[in-house]
Amino acid sequence: MLPESLLTLLLISATVHGSERIVGGTEALPGEFPYLVSLRLPLNEDRSFRHVCGGSIIADRWILTAAVCFPVVGAKIILGEHVLNAEDAGEVEYFVTRVYSHHDLSTTLRNNLALVKVDREIDLSLFPAVTLPTINYATPVGTSCTLAGWGQLDGDEILNENPSNVLQKATIPIVDNSICADGFAQAGVGYLFNEEVELCAGTASEAMNGPDACFYDQGGPLICNDQQIGLVSTITSCGAITNYVEIAKYVDWIDLTIEEDEGKNASNNIKTSLSFTVLSVVMSKIAF
């Protein structure tokens, strides 16, 4: 069983402050996002599995998520999920057998993504893989994108809130990276926005009324023009703007990692301990 302190680090290390709420989203339809998965870790006192992050199917054995989510061997990946506390029709459970966090994950959470291999093939006729962009594809500012996940809906305290029980969705625009750069700097965490490899999306408003990603949405996909352009990275507040890993900057790494694993029958290359060390350093830098 993973310690409760791990969940604490997962949530706090990726957050700074904010209203901890999603405003402006709506309930998704069952099956509307077949590539979306729920990543679960055994964090409850009874060793049952708890939703911590989203992720996306990118191939018949592979899930893309955030390194900050601590995907570990033995974690569960749930496909076909809609309502977290109910067993949905068509829901399928997989277990994680291998994890590759990006080799250059830094203390600023630069390169915050991980590839997760599951224990058997996914039926892509039932759960089609999301389409990834071409290498270095640039998404224009103003592009309308779709975010889906089980992130928090409201609440005042980070650790006392639960994810949304029902899958939510929202439409948000890509905005200029300077908005995230300025917003993060004003919050005292400018080092958490890595402009060269990340995108900024949301609505910059003092009203903090969203829509926007929130806690438990990390690792989930941002879809623009039917492609996964981004991946929810850190959460500095909810209801305004969020930074997203820019997938087009990592297509080579994704392809090479999968090719090496499948071509060489690589042994486990678990980077969770590195992620834990990196995030511990981030914790020491964040001023609440």
The domains found in the chain, sorted by start residue, are 4-285 (2.40.10.10)
- Determine the pLDDT at residue 205: 63
The CA-based angle 134-140-145, given to 5 degrees, is: 85
Q: What's the one-letter identity of residue 216?
A: Y
- Determine the pLDDT at residue 111: 94
Per-residue pLDDT of the chain (288 residues; tens, 9 = 90+): 333 433 433 443 443 333 333 446 889 999 999 999 999 998 777 778 999 999 999 999 999 999 999 888 999 999 999 999 888 888 999 999 999 999 999 888 899 999 999 999 999 999 999 999 999 899 999 999 999 999 887 634 454 478 889 999 999 999 999 999 998 898 888 889 998 999 999 886 655 556 888 889 999 999 999 999 999 998 767 778 889 999 999 999 999 999 999 886 544 443 333 444 444 444 344 332
pTM of the entire structure?
0.84
- Determine the pLDDT at residue 178: 93
Q: For the chain, how big is the Rg over CA atoms in Å? A: 17
Cα(163)–Cα(84) distance, integer angstroms: 9
Tokens matching residue 177: 């990276």
Cα(237)–Cα(18) distance, integer angstroms: 4
3-state DSSP percent of the chain in helix, strand and coil, to 5? 20, 25, 50
- Determine the pLDDT at residue 95: 96
How many residues are recorded in the chain?
288
Local structure of residue 286 (DSSP, 8 states): -
The CA-based angle 54-56-62, given to 5 degrees, is: 120
Residue environment code for 114-151, b if the CB has 16+ CB neighbours within 10 A, otherwise e? bbbbbeeebeeeebebbebbeeebebeeeeebbbbbbb
